[in-house]
Amino acid sequence: MNPPNVLNVFKGPDALVQFFDPDRSPPLPLVELPDALNPLRRDGVRIFAKMLTQLPAQNVKSLPALRMLRNERDAHRQKIVEASSGSTVLSLGMISRALWDHEDVHAFVTNKKHPDSLKLLRFFGLNVNLYGGLAQQEPYDPKGIMSRLKETAERDPGVCYPGQYHNDHNWKSHEQWTGAQIWKQLPEITVFCSTIGTGGCAVGTGTYLKSRNPSVKVIGVCNVFGDPTPGPRHFPNFESSPFPWRETIDAFEDVSSVDSYRTSMKLSRYGIIAGPSSGEALHGLLAYLQRMKADGRLPELADPSTGEVSCAFICADLPYQYMDMYYKKLADEEFPPIQNENLLHCDQDAYDERWFLQPNEAASHLLSHNSMLTNAFCSVPSPCLCKWQSSSPVSTSSSVSSVISDSSSSNSVESSPSIFSVPECSTSKSFTFPEITVLDLRPRDIYAASHLCGSRNVPLPPAQKDFFGDARALEQRWAEMKEAVEREDWIWADGRSILVLCADGDSGRMATAMLRAKGCEAMCVEGGYPAMFEYLDGYER
Ligand SMILES: Cc1ncc(COP(=O)(O)O)c(C=O)c1O
C-alpha cells in the first residue's frame, strides 16, 4: 500500500512510473452535472461525470494499456503492435516509454484516417503502419488486421501484440481502478454508463460495481451502424467480444454521431471538457433514463437510502483532436458567430515586429546600405538624410508629383536636380540608395510638401485614422494597398530592400507584410514619415 500522495508530486528516477500508476494518485474527479446538463434533475436523477480524461494519457485507455503492458513479460524488448488509431496506441506509446524507455510501438491504422490523426500519432512518436480496405474491422475476422497481428505475434517472438479486444487485462484494469474508485466516491450509485469499443470500460467497471451492489444497472452505448463516432463501435461489431459482457451490461443504447458531438460540446462548454464518445455516453444514458421515466420505472433505479437515482458516465477523451469534425457534424448556428468576419478574407499576410523600425533604426539602416553616404559623412556616425521641403524651389505640386511619382524613372535624386535639390544638405554630393527603395505611401500633395530625398511615391488615398480598430476601414485599406502593390510591380521586381514610409505608421505595417509575402525584404518606420521627419530634423538642429 503506497502512502497517499496528497500533493500530487512524482519525484525521482521512477517519477513517470509513479505518475502513470493510478494507485499513486488521488481518485480521478467525479463531477456532478449542473441542472443545465441534466434534464432529469427534477425527477430525482443525479448524474456524475467520471473524468478519465484526467489520467496521464488523458484518455480511457491509459488504464488498460498500463495493465496490459505490466503483464507482458518481454514487452520492454519486443516490437509492440496494436490495431488502434487513437486512445489505445497513444497510451501504449507513452506508457512503454514511461515504464521502460522503450520506443518500439507500432500503430496499425486504416488508410481512411484523417491526416491530422496520423500527425497526432507521429507527434507522440508512434510508428504508423497503414492498412487498406474496411476501416473499422471486426476483431475476429480471419482476414482482418487484428487476426493478422495475432498470428504475427504467435509466430514471431520479437513481437508483442497486447490485443485489446481479447486481452482480459483490458477490462480488468477498469475493474481494478475505475470501478473501485467510483464505488468509493459514490456508494449510492445505481446506474453506470459507458460507450462500448472493446467493452473493456463497461465490463470492467460494471463488474466491480455489481460485485458491491448487484442491483447497479450498467448501460452500454454503441454507435449507430454506419454512423461512427470515434472510439466506440456499433453493436454487431462488439457482439462476438469474449469479455463477460452478457452478465454485466443490462441495456444497450445506440446514439448518432451528431448527438454525440453536440452533447460533448455542451459538456465542454461547462468545463467538463470531453470528446465525442463522452457525449455519446451521456446522450445514451439520458435516452435510457427518459425511457424508464416514460415507462414509469424511474423509481426502480432509485437508491433506497437517498431516494435518488445516482448515475455515473465515462468521459473518455478530450475534444481537441476532433475539432474539424465538430464543424462538419454540427450546424454553423450552433457556434457563436465571429465578429469582423470580413477580416478572414483580407490582410492575411504575417506581420512581424522585427520589420517595424524606429526612426533611428531606419536611418542607420539607410546608412548601412549606402556606402556613398557613409563616405560623405564619415565623421558623422549618425545618418545625414537630407529632406526636401516645400520651401525648396518648386513651382507647383502637380509638377512635382508628375516627376516624383513616375515609377519608371530612376529613384536617384540626380534624375531631377531642380526638384530634388537638397538645400539643407551639408555636402555637395547627391545621394542614392543603391540597394534600398524608400517607398512613401502618402498622397501626392502631402509627399510633395515634404519627403525624404531619394524616396519614391506610390500615393494611396488618405486612410481612416486608426483603421486597425475598424474592420471595414481595414478591409478598404487592404484593398487599396493590394491594388497599388500589384499595379506597381517594379516595387518588388528588382530584388532591392524596401523601406516604407506612410502618414502614421499603420499603412507602412500593412505594406510591409504584403511586400514580405511577395518575397521582398521590406521594412517600415514606426510612426511613419512624421516620426522620421522629427528624428532627422532634431538631428540636424
Ligand atoms: C475515445 C474513446 N471512447 C470510448 C472508447 C471505448 O472504450 P472501451 O474500449 O473500453 O469500450 C474508446 C476505445 O478505444 C475510445 O478511444
Query: What are 522's strand-pairing partners?
Result: 498
- Atom number, ligand 1, closest to the C-alpha of residue 277: 3
* pTM exceeds 0.95, yes or no: no
- Hey, whose CA ends up nearest to atom 3 of ligand 1? 231
pLDDT for res 496: 87
Q: Which contacts of 348-351 are long-range, i.e. CB under 8 A and separated by 24 or more positions?
A: 349/513, 349/514, 349/516, 349/517, 350/513, 350/516, 350/517, 351/509, 351/512, 351/513
Q: For 361-419, give the DSSP string.
A: HHHHHHHHT-HHHHHHTTT-SS----EEETTSS-S-HHHHHHHHT-TTS---GGGSHHH
CB 383 within 8 A of CB 366: yes
Distance 202 CA to ligand 1 centre (A): 10
- Say if ligand 1 is within 6 A of residue 201 CB: yes
Q: Measure the CA–CA gap between 416 and 406, rounded to whole angstroms.
A: 11
CA of 302 to the centre of ligand 1 (A): 28
How many other C-beta atoms lie within 10 A of the C-beta of residue 286?
A: 23
Q: Which atom of ligand 1 is nearest to the CA of 197?
A: 11
Ligand 1 atom nearest to CA at 87 = 16
Ligand 1 atom 1 nearest Cα? 231
* Nearest alpha-carbon partner for 525 in 465, 451, 462, 468: 451
Q: Ligand 1 centre and the CA of 112: distance in Å?
A: 19
Binding site membership of 277 for ligand 1 (Cβ less than 6 Å):
yes
The CA 300 to ligand 1 mean position distance, Å, reads 29
Of all protein residues, the one whose alpha carbon is nearest to atom 14 of ligand 1 is 231
- Pocket lining: 204 vs ligand 1, CB cutoff 6 Å: no
| Cα–Cα distance, 60 to 65 (Å, whole number) | 9
Q: How far apart are CA 404 and CA 455, in angstroms?
A: 8
User: What distance in Å separates the CA atoms of residue 301 and residue 200, rounded to the nearest whole number?
Assistant: 24
Does 91 sit in the ligand 1 pocket, CB within 6 Å? no
- In angstroms, the CA 381 to CA 378 distance is 7
The answer, yes or no, to whether any atom of ligand 1 lies below 6 A from the CB of 317, is yes
Residue 501 bridge partners (DSSP)? 440
- For 129, the 3-state DSSP assignment is strand
Mutation choice for ligand 1 from 195, 260, 263, CB with most ligand atoms inside 8 A: 195
Ligand 1 contact via 347 beta carbon (within 6 Å):
no
Residue 433 confidence (pLDDT): 61
Which residue has its alpha carbon closest to ligand 1 atom 5?
231
C-alpha cell, 316: 473518455
Tens digit of pLDDT at every position of the chain (541 positions): 677 888 999 999 999 999 999 999 999 999 999 999 999 999 999 999 999 999 999 999 999 999 999 999 999 999 999 999 899 999 999 999 999 999 999 999 999 999 999 999 999 999 999 999 988 888 888 999 999 999 999 999 999 999 999 999 999 999 999 999 999 999 999 999 999 999 999 999 999 999 999 999 999 999 999 999 999 999 999 999 999 999 999 999 999 999 999 999 999 999 999 999 999 999 999 999 999 999 999 999 999 999 999 999 999 999 999 999 999 999 999 999 999 999 999 999 999 999 999 999 998 888 776 544 433 222 223 333 443 333 333 322 332 222 222 233 333 333 333 233 222 323 333 445 667 889 999 999 998 888 887 789 999 999 999 999 999 999 999 999 999 999 998 887 788 899 999 999 999 999 999 999 999 999 999 999 999 988 887 655 4
Cell numbers found for residue 463 = 486612410
> Cβ(533)–Cβ(387) under 8 Å?
yes
The residue whose CA has the least distance to atom 13 of ligand 1 is 231
CA atoms within 13 A of residue 286's CA, in its CB half-sphere? 17
Ligand 1 atom at shortest distance from the alpha carbon of 278: 3
Q: Which domains does the chain have, with CATH numbers?
A: 25-56+168-334 (3.40.50.1100), 73-160 (3.40.50.1100), 352-540 (3.40.250.10)
For the Cβ of 60 lying below 6 angstroms from any atom of ligand 1, the answer is yes
Any atom of ligand 1 within 6 Å of the Cβ of 315 = no
Distance CA 473, CA 355 (A): 23
Ligand 1 centroid – CA 449 distance (Å):
72
513 contact partners, CB below 8 Å, separation of at least 6: 347, 349, 350, 351, 352, 355
CA 369 – CA 379 distance, rounded (Å):
17
Ligand 1 pocket test target in 63, 110, 198, 273 with most atoms within 8 Å of CB:
198
Positive or negative CA dihedral for 150, 152, 157, 158? negative
User: CB of 139 closer than 6 A to ligand 1?
Assistant: no
